Chains A and B, each alone.
Chain A
Amino acid sequence: MSQELINAITEMREDDALKIASQMLDAGASPLEVLDACRNAMEIIGKRFETGDCFIPELMLAGEILSQISAIVKPRMSQSAESKKLGKVIVGTVQGDIHDIAKDIVVFMLDINGFEVTDLGVDVPPAKFVEAVKQAGAKIVGLSGFLTLAFDPMKDTVAALKAAGLNDVKVMIGGGQIDEQIRQYTGADAYGKDAMAAVAIAKSWA
């Protein structure tokens, strides 16, 4: 039945996916088995995204399907059944920019790929990133920005992390107008052109 769930998710059959997930649990499948199938499905969708065979609508709908399945599965899970995380990542849209769509996709993809993600939301000042990194002990930060006015706040955030002595923290940036030139300008360690790139970068640092 796991394969049926994987197929339903990757084929974007939302109603079928929810039904199959419930049936699996009712038939005695463990919550982890259901979540593993979800993860496998997302891996397939992620690969298709990288090869240009699926796009943002599919990432978004799969995200919706998964959060609905999670809502069914989570109450049945014991704390210890939570899978081991790859690492902690702090993500937010930088100060002055209130856009969240791309940032939300990155948060979701990092989460589903095994990272423990703290989402600071939008319009996040540098000091808040510093505080969150210290509090969580995270080694990876993701800065999002849709507008070109995000260039300078990204640079300021990278500088604030360094000034706080967090030199072992790696920073990745992303957003509509972000490229290698802006990576150099901000002093970030990497830039990703989309959510899958963010996952690949984070995995290489984990």
Chain B
Amino acid sequence: MFTRPDNWNQMSPLERRKARLDAWQNAPVPFASPEAEAGYKERIERLRKIYDMEPHDRPLADLFLGVNEYVVRRKGIQGKDMVYNHEKLREPLLEFHNEFQPDVSVGPLPYPGKVMDMLGYKSYIWGGQKLPDNLTIQAVEGEYMSADEYLEFAADPTNFWMKKYLPRIMPTLAPLAMLTELPRVSENIDIIDLMVPFGLPPFQEMLKTLMEAGNELMKMLAVVGQTGAMVAGAGFPSMAYNIVKTPFDYLGDTVRGTKGILTDMYRHPNELLAACEAYVPVLNNAAVNACDRNGAPSVLYVLHKGADGFMSKAQFEKFYWPHWKQNMMALYEEGITSYLFIEGSYNTRLEYLAEMPSKSLVCHFDKTDMRRVKEVLSDKHIIAGNVPASLMAAGTVDEVRAYCADLVELFEGKSYIMAHGCYFENTTDEKLRAFMDSVKK
């Protein structure tokens, strides 16, 4: 949890940013040994200097999402285990950290399989459920909001999510639709409307299932939390962030689907814009609250439909960028750094990111021209990326070494994080070592 200092209202955005980063950097860790503590401090100080864009000894190599699966698969763990058997992930993860000594930790992959089963969750399928045991989890895109419902969403996003969207993707939650609209609970008589669903069998059944699912979640979080604490205690800090999306991507990925939202730009432009606008204050609030709750100093934007090729610059300027920028500016004002995980290529979008205040962003690229990135963004923001997944999977050790060396040279003197451009499953220990050693002098 992040506790705001008494003078928060008098602090500038960068002072607030410093307060959040200080709290994260100094959070207590149960170290396994004095050596582990020394290693942790060295690593987190380097990361902090990079975040502060101050002089530092070398770039850091972050295995990021790229390697989560590989580090457990190399020890025979299957996709199904990552969803259901979180205890089995601990040893491979600890072993990997001790063997490879990464600059920052690799996360313990908390997919809550049992809880998803109990909720009847439909927007993903996973190993041990509808996917074969060797696979982990994949999104199932669907249309969970019709174009006719845009304005209903825009009028009250939270109400729509609670009473329409959540019941549609998690049938267990269908009774939520029975709830009255909460802001009309005012006079004593309104308590009747508020409480009626709680007295009805379907709602009570849902509450019972939710409590059981909550208990399952706590069991999983205890395991995952302990693994995370052990990894940190062994000397490896984590990049702490809360995952968010842009208003356009929330609507596109989650409720309208790719074809839905991309054609809505022609078929229902005003409704789409109204929904994006309505999303901004909701997301500002949600992201700040999440960072206050768990003390993460940054949010991780997973970016999808604003990439090159997905829309024109004119469409990006109209439908994607304005609401996203408002969102990131609000986070900046609250001292929260936006870490952008930019899948695909962003060659035509770099100038927009340059509009953001200095140090407000970490820009992590996948398939973007890094020479232009250096030119347009590296004096202002922290840069990460863009080692191709194809190279890690199918390239040679020498090719990985050469590619990474080129990036290190390119970003010399800048705040740079060596990172993969995309999630991948298959590589070799030798290629990972070449990747990690590339930043060491």
Contacts and interface: CB of A to CB of B under 8 A. Distances in A.
Give the interface size bracket for A toward B: 20 to 34
Contact of B310 (A55, A177, A179): A55
Contacts of A149: 135, 425-426
Nearest to B125: A98
A182 B258 CA distance: 26
Nearest to B138: A98
Contacts, number: 81
B390 interface: yes
B140 A148 contact: no
A186 B307 CA distance: 27
A57 B266 CA distance: 9
A168 to B, nearest CB: 26
8 contacts: A61-B267, A101-B259, A177-B424, A178-B390, A179-B388, A181-B391, A182-B390, A185-B394
B159 to A, nearest CB: 29
A23 interface: no
Contact of A61 (B125, B263, B344, B395): B263
Interface in B213-272: 258-259, 262-263, 265-267
B305 to A, nearest CB: 9
Interface of B: 125, 132, 135, 138, 140-141, 258-259, 262-263, 265-267, 309-312, 315, 343-344, 388-391, 393-395, 422-426
B263 A55 contact: no
Most buried by B among A61, A148, A152, A179: A148
A96 B135 contact: yes
Most buried by A among B263, B266, B267, B423: B263
B394 A98 contact: no
Contacts of A178: 390
Return the 3 tightest CB-CB contacts between A and B, nearest first.
A185-B394, A57-B262, A148-B424
B423 A148 contact: yes
B393 A148 contact: yes
Contact of A57 (B265, B394, B395): B265
A181 B266 contact: no
Interface in A129-186: 147-149, 151-152, 176-179, 181-182, 184-185
B403 to A, nearest CB: 11
Nearest to A148: B424
A56 B261 CA distance: 11
A178 B391 CA distance: 10
Contacts of A60: 259, 262-263
Given A148-B423, A179-B388, A181-B391, A61 B266 contact: yes
Nearest to A105: B259
B267 A57 contact: no
Given A55-B315, A64-B263, A98-B125, 9 more contacts: A97-B138, A101-B141, A101-B258, A151-B390, A152-B426, A177-B389, A181-B388, A182-B394, A185-B393
Nearest to A194: B309
A14 to B, nearest CB: 7
Contact of A151 (B267, B393, B423): B393
A177 B141 CA distance: 19
Contacts of B315: 55, 57
A1 interface: no
B258 to A, nearest CB: 5
B392 to A, nearest CB: 9
A55 B309 CA distance: 5
